[in-house]
Protein backbone atom coordinates (compact mmCIF):
# COMPACT_ATOMS: atom_id res chain seq x y z
CA UNK A 1 0.00 0.00 0.00
CA UNK A 2 1.62 3.23 -1.12
CA UNK A 3 -0.85 5.71 0.38
CA UNK A 4 -0.35 7.23 3.79
CA UNK A 5 -4.00 8.10 4.26
CA UNK A 6 -7.45 8.04 2.62
CA UNK A 7 -7.05 11.77 2.08
CA UNK A 8 -3.91 11.28 -0.01
CA UNK A 9 -5.66 8.55 -2.01
CA UNK A 10 -8.61 10.81 -2.77
CA UNK A 11 -6.51 13.87 -3.62
CA UNK A 12 -4.18 11.90 -5.92
CA UNK A 13 -1.38 14.43 -5.59
CA UNK A 14 -3.63 17.24 -6.82
CA UNK A 15 -4.91 15.30 -9.83
CA UNK A 16 -7.91 13.81 -8.03
CA UNK A 17 -10.51 15.44 -10.29
CA UNK A 18 -8.91 14.01 -13.44
CA UNK A 19 -8.13 10.52 -12.14
CA UNK A 20 -11.44 9.98 -10.35
CA UNK A 21 -13.31 11.66 -13.21
CA UNK A 22 -11.84 9.00 -15.49
CA UNK A 23 -12.64 6.17 -13.08
CA UNK A 24 -16.20 7.41 -12.67
CA UNK A 25 -16.62 7.71 -16.43
CA UNK A 26 -15.44 4.14 -16.94
CA UNK A 27 -17.67 2.82 -14.19
CA UNK A 28 -20.78 4.69 -15.35
CA UNK A 29 -20.35 3.74 -19.01
CA UNK A 30 -19.75 0.06 -18.33
CA UNK A 31 -22.47 -0.36 -15.70
CA UNK A 32 -24.77 1.71 -17.92
CA UNK A 33 -24.12 -0.62 -20.82
CA UNK A 34 -24.84 -3.70 -18.71
CA UNK A 35 -28.10 -2.15 -17.51
CA UNK A 36 -29.00 -1.18 -21.07
CA UNK A 37 -28.52 -4.66 -22.46
CA UNK A 38 -30.34 -6.26 -19.53
CA UNK A 39 -33.30 -3.97 -20.14
CA UNK A 40 -33.19 -4.80 -23.85
CA UNK A 41 -33.24 -8.52 -23.11
CA UNK A 42 -36.22 -8.18 -20.78
CA UNK A 43 -38.07 -6.02 -23.27
CA UNK A 44 -37.46 -8.48 -26.12
CA UNK A 45 -38.62 -11.48 -24.09
CA UNK A 46 -41.72 -9.63 -22.88
CA UNK A 47 -42.66 -8.41 -26.36
CA UNK A 48 -42.13 -11.81 -28.00
CA UNK A 49 -44.11 -13.50 -25.24
CA UNK A 50 -47.01 -11.11 -25.85
CA UNK A 51 -46.86 -11.69 -29.60
CA UNK A 52 -46.84 -15.46 -29.23
CA UNK A 53 -49.73 -15.43 -26.77
CA UNK A 54 -51.70 -13.08 -29.01
CA UNK A 55 -51.15 -15.38 -31.97
CA UNK A 56 -52.25 -18.36 -29.92
CA UNK A 57 -55.50 -16.58 -29.04
CA UNK A 58 -56.05 -15.79 -32.69
CA UNK A 59 -55.40 -19.39 -33.65
CA UNK A 60 -57.74 -20.44 -30.78
CA UNK A 61 -55.10 -22.54 -29.12
CA UNK A 62 -55.91 -21.10 -25.70
Between CA 51 and CA 45 the distance in angstroms is 10
Between CA 8 and CA 23 the distance in angstroms is 17
* Coil, strand or helix at 60: coil
Q: Give the length of the chain.
A: 62
Closest separation in Å from C-beta 54 to another protein:
12
54 binds another protein (CB under 8 A): no
* Position among 12, 54, 58, 62 found at the interface with another protein (CB under 8 A): 12
The smaller minimum CB distance to another protein, of residues 14 and 60, is found at: 14
Closest separation in Å from C-beta 51 to another protein:
7
Amino acid sequence: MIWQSWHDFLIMGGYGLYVWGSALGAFLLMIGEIIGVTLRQRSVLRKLHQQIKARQIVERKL
